[in-house]
Amino acid sequence: MTSRFVGGTREGRIVDYGIPVALSAETSTERTPAGFPAPRTLRRVARLRPKLGVMDVLLQLWRSKWLMLLVFVSVFLVGVIITLILPAKYAANTRLLVKSGQEYVFDTTAGDAARGGFLHQESVMHAETELARSPVIAERVISGMGLSRLYPDLAKAKLRARDRGVYVIDQEALEVFAGDLDVASAPRSSILRMTYSHEDPTLAAATLNRFVTEYLAYRQEVLFGEGDAGLSEQRDVIEGRLAEADKALRAFLVANGLSDFTAETAAARKQFGDISDELAKVQVSLRESGSPARANPNQSIRALTVRSAALTTQKREAEARMAVLSALEPDYMRLKRDRDALEAAADALAARNELAARNAGSISIYEAARPPARSDATNGLIAIGAAILGLVAGLIAGFMRAGSVTGFATAGSVERTLGLHVLATAKDRTR
């Protein structure tokens, strides 16, 4: 049952506007040159599209409700099917507390204007976030946890692949892992959040904890060139070489009857100087006596002569001792330089270990990952997105149908389109 509108023109004619309405065609009669009337021809008038108002659009949408419902249900069912096909994933979470350590302190090589300054906390968090997203860490985690445990399908494909296919699958595994991993930090916050999603909640937590361990180890390698294990190995090697050098130096001293080369050399030089001074004094006393010892064999002259002879002998012995020490000095200095260099290297490695330990303390695990009890909201979001998309698609279908209708839905549409006043509206019960 439709409505029929009766309108009036200025000439008083009645026009019937039923639904659907096709505008009428005008006729014209022309005469031939002989005076006979020519046959009637139809002058076609272009079809006008109705001008719709708000009520017209709402009415057309209501009439298209079943079409919109069909579109909505179709799109929504597709989303539901996708949620049923996709496996549920469990997201494990961990949080790290990041503090500004010594590695983020400015240490200028020239000038002291910026020495000791710290980077802004947001810059520190951005650097740590980018470091955590390194594919090197992901590769180590996948290797440590096992590709067959994390992504069995990729592991099977890798077994069948050859040559470059293995590399392609490894890169695909890294991409999948990067998609399952999320590293982020809130603005003006010192908390670094890490999330890893997997179908197995226990495996998700274990993988994320392994990721944190590899991240901290890789961070030490990037900042100091070696990890904790590398620094310890270097220190063990240096300390072993230092022990050998120290042992060689002690053996050299024992073989030459020395206990402390530096002290004994200083003592020999001091002894030589003292003997030389005393001998010089004795010789001066002898010269002041005015006669040689044989002409004046008194006790004082004889004593000075004996003393001079003894000092001369001691001086020769001191000179001989100094000559021996001088001959040994090059070998001793070589052994000592080797020992001192190794000792300095050991001290430097110890300082690096201490600095690495302090800087490792700049990041602490605020909350370790635990197996999640509930799956993430991905499937729910897909269903909600499908519902929203279905609603939008249904409305679009309704608006498209409303725009394609050529009939007049309301009296207002007739008045807006034709510029005629509607005198009456009647229900068409024949349709």
Distance CA 218, CA 176 (A): 21
What strands lie across the sheet with 191-198, from one edge to the other?
181-185, 191-198, 90-98, 363-367
Collect all residues with Cβ–Cβ distance below 8 Å to 213 and sequence separation of at least 6. Answer: none
- Per-residue pLDDT, averaged over 375-401, amounts to 82
The answer to whether residue 36 sits within a structural domain is: no
Residue 407 φ/ψ, nearest 5 degrees:
-90, 175
Cα–Cα distance between 203 and 90 in angstroms, integer?
10
What does pLDDT average to over the chain?
A: 74
- Compute the distance between CA of residue 287 and CA of residue 17 in angstroms, rounded to an integer: 159
Task: Work out the average pLDDT over 43-53.
Answer: 57
Q: Enumerate the β-bridge partners of residue 37.
A: 31
pTM for this predicted structure: 0.49
- pLDDT more than 90, % of the chain: 15
Give the range of the structural domain holding residue 173, as residue numbers without chain letter.
90-225
Interior angle at CA 398, CA 393 and CA 399, nearest 5: 100
Q: How far apart are CA 418 and CA 21, in angstroms?
A: 12
Answer yes or no: do 125 and 219 share one domain.
Answer: yes
Angular region, 116: left φ>0, alpha ψ -120 to 50, beta rest: left
Number of folded domains that form the chain: 4
Residue carrying the six token digits 């044989």: 294
The helix (run of H) or strand (run of E) holding residue 246 is: helix 228-255
Q: Of 225, 245, 276, which closes a domain? A: 225
Are 84 and 96 part of one and the same domain?
no
CA 399 to chain centre: 47
Which phi-psi region, left, alpha or beta, contains residue 35 (left: φ > 0; alpha: ψ -120 to 50)?
Answer: left
Q: Under a CB-based contact definition with an 8 Å cutoff, are residues 296 and 328 in contact?
A: no
Mark whether 253 and 353 lie in a shared domain. Answer: yes
52 falls within a domain: no
The answer to whether residues 388 and 421 belong to one domain is: no
Give 10's pLDDT tier (boundaries 50, 70, 90): very low
Residue 3 and residue 66 in one domain? no
Say what the pLDDT of residue 352 is: 65
**Is the Cβ–Cβ distance between 390 and 75 less than 8 Å?**
yes
Q: Say if 322 falls within a structural domain.
A: yes
Same domain flag for 271 and 388: no
Regarding whether 244 and 277 lie in a shared domain, the answer is: yes
Please state, in angstroms and rounded to a whole number, the distance separating the CA atoms of residues 80 and 388: 13
* pLDDT digits 0-9 by tens, 290-300: 554 444 456 67
Summarize pLDDT for 175-221 with one digit per residue, the tens: 999 999 999 988 888 889 999 998 888 999 999 999 999 998 888 88
**Quick check: is 351 in a domain?**
yes
In a domain, 386, yes or no: yes
Q: Is 90 exceeded by the pLDDT of residue 126?
A: no
pLDDT in the model for residue 9: 45
Higher pLDDT, 97 or 346: 97
Examine the pLDDT at 68 and tell me if it is beyond 80. Answer: yes
Tell me which of 172, 195, 225 is where a domain ends. Answer: 225
DSSP string, 360-385: HTTEEEEE-----SS--SHHHHHHHH
Q: What pLDDT was estimated at residue 203?
A: 92
Q: Are residues 102 and 219 in the same domain?
A: yes
Residue 400: what are its φ and ψ, rounded to 5°? Answer: -65, -40
Does residue 53 belong to any structural domain of this protein? Answer: no
42: helix, strand or coil: strand
The pLDDT of 250-257, averaged and rounded, is: 80
* 346 within a domain of the structure (yes/no): yes
Examine the fold and report which residue of 195, 225, 255 is the final residue of a domain before the chain moves on.
225
Q: Quick check: is 255 in a domain?
A: yes
Do 116 and 193 share a domain, yes or no? yes
202 and 126, same domain (yes or no):
yes
Q: How far apart are the C-alpha atoms of 310 and 308, rounded to whole Å?
A: 5
Whether residue 99 is found in the same domain as residue 130: yes
Question: In terms of DSSP H, where are the helices of 36-146?
Answer: 54-63, 65-85, 121-132, 135-145
CA distances from residue 23 to 1, 60, 211 in whole angstroms, order as listed: 21, 21, 75
The answer to whether 173 and 179 are in contact (CB under 8 A) is no
- Encoded tokens for 406: 């050529």
What is the reported pLDDT for 141? 94
Q: Which of 151, 98, 90 has the alpha carbon at shortest distance from 129?
A: 98
On whether both 220 and 259 belong to a single domain, the answer is no
Do strands 14-17 and 2-8 pair parallel, antiparallel, or not at all (unpaired)? antiparallel
